[in-house]
Amino acid sequence: MTAVVTPILHVDMDAFYASVATRDRPELRDQPVIVGGGHRGVVLSASYQARAFGVRSGMPGAQARRLCPQAVTLAPDFDAFSTVSRAVMETFRRVTPLVEVASLDEAFLDVGGAVRRLGPPEAIAEQLRARIHDEQGITCSVGLAATRSVAKLASRRAKPDGVLTIAPDQVVEQLHPLDVGELYGVGESTRSALRALGLHTVGDVARMPLEVLQHHLGRASGAHLMDLALGTDRSEVVARNAAGFGLGEPDRSMGAQETFGRDSADRGFVLRQLLRLAARVCRRMRGAGKVGRTVAITVRYADFRTLNRSRTLPEPTDVTQEVYRTAVALYDALGAHRDRLRLVGVRVEGLVSRAGVHHQLELGEPDHGWADADRAVDRAVARFGSAVVGPASLLRHDRGTRRSVAG
């Protein structure tokens, strides 16, 4: 098989906080919007309409309002940001396990192992962009390259809502004319130090003798900067979550979502999707040896309004029917079936090791039940595949149809 030349993707959400804050408020989509920047605060994010006036993240709110007095200022909703971020990162992990989360709104992916299944990296990038827009109602930009730093730079140049590939033979042409401050990881202090040496562009750095660079910056820093300038920096993507961003460890929750091919208000149809998603999530939990106590659902209406509801169970579980029943109760409590939906999701949170949980039998409870049935299905799926074995109601409706479950 031919080696994949640009297997590394850097996916960056476009104006993430502003996009999430306005996605359910269509009246604001064409307006300049600032998230944060309240009294004596700083701007957390600005829509592209506000950026046209010079508003930037990290800017004092008072300065932002002077630049763009007509902007709508919104308070940040960190629960919503974290919820969307977790869903986006899970979308990435459906493509490849090699996802290195850099922050709430960006990650590196190594898709070299997914090309046989999903197509070339450019096609995977487009699939991800379409899926994130459809499921989350926001856009992202993707950079593709052979190394992490070049992929990061490519995604920045692809913004907003674009894809850019920089192949190894394009690095000199694309990188060397840029300001040295464009390099990934080069901050203002390093940029100033380089400028003091007469190094203004990436090409200036690349042409500098390595020993001279190391003399001024130190052995390790000089070598790393040279690698950045040549586009030969560390290319490995390490599967890990971002610490300090409220995401938690990847296995603290598991979930799945499905966007319908057509908006629907048919309760029976929606319940079948909830059952399918519950089965998918619980199968993954059992495979990982996890159980969880909190069941959460997400529903997105045809107009992109999105609601999340959750319920904590008396005991942790990995039983499909228990998760499904709770999801149905949450769905019915919303009265969501009165309006057309475009997406539903099921998530189990607060996961712990099943080995450390001892189930307390209740009086009259049978020795065998849904838990045993689930494990029998797991064994059958492992042998024959998920298309053959599953809940009877799903198998009846899935005959001859194509599914697009997100999990």
Which are the contacts of 149, defined by CB distance < 8 A and separation ≥ 6? 183, 184, 185, 228, 231, 233
State the Cα–Cα distance between residues 167 and 145, nearest whole angstrom: 6
Query: Is there a contact between 157 and 45 (Cβ–Cβ < 8 Å)?
Result: no
Taking CA atoms, 47 is separated from 41, 73, 75, 84, in Å, by 17, 11, 14, 17
Residue 105 is labelled as binding a ligand: yes
Burial per residue of 300-320, b for 16 or more beta-carbon CB atoms within 10 angstroms, e otherwise: bbeeebbeebeeebeebbbbb
DSSP conformation class of 241: P
106, 135, 258, 322: which one is catalytic?
A: 106
Instruction: Write out the H or E segment, with its range, that includes residue 254.
Output: strand 253-264
Distance CA 22, CA 50 (A): 13
Task: Please return the burial class of 397, using the count of CB atoms within 10 Å of its CB with bins 0-12, 13-18 and 19+.
Answer: middle
**Sign of the torsion angle spanned by Cα atoms 76, 130, 242, 293:** positive
8 Å CB contact between 35 and 21 = yes
* Residue 106 is a catalytic residue: yes
Nearest C-alpha neighbor of 316 from the set 285, 284, 343: 285
Element holding 221 (H helix, E strand): helix 219-230
Q: Are 292 and 348 in contact (CB under 8 A)?
A: yes
Closest CA to 354 of 248, 240, 243, 254: 254
Provide the 8-state DSSP code for 199: -
12 is in an annotated binding site: yes
DSSP annotation of 362: P
Which run of H or E residues covers position 273? helix 267-288
Active-site residue set: 106
Binding residues for Mg(2+): 12, 105
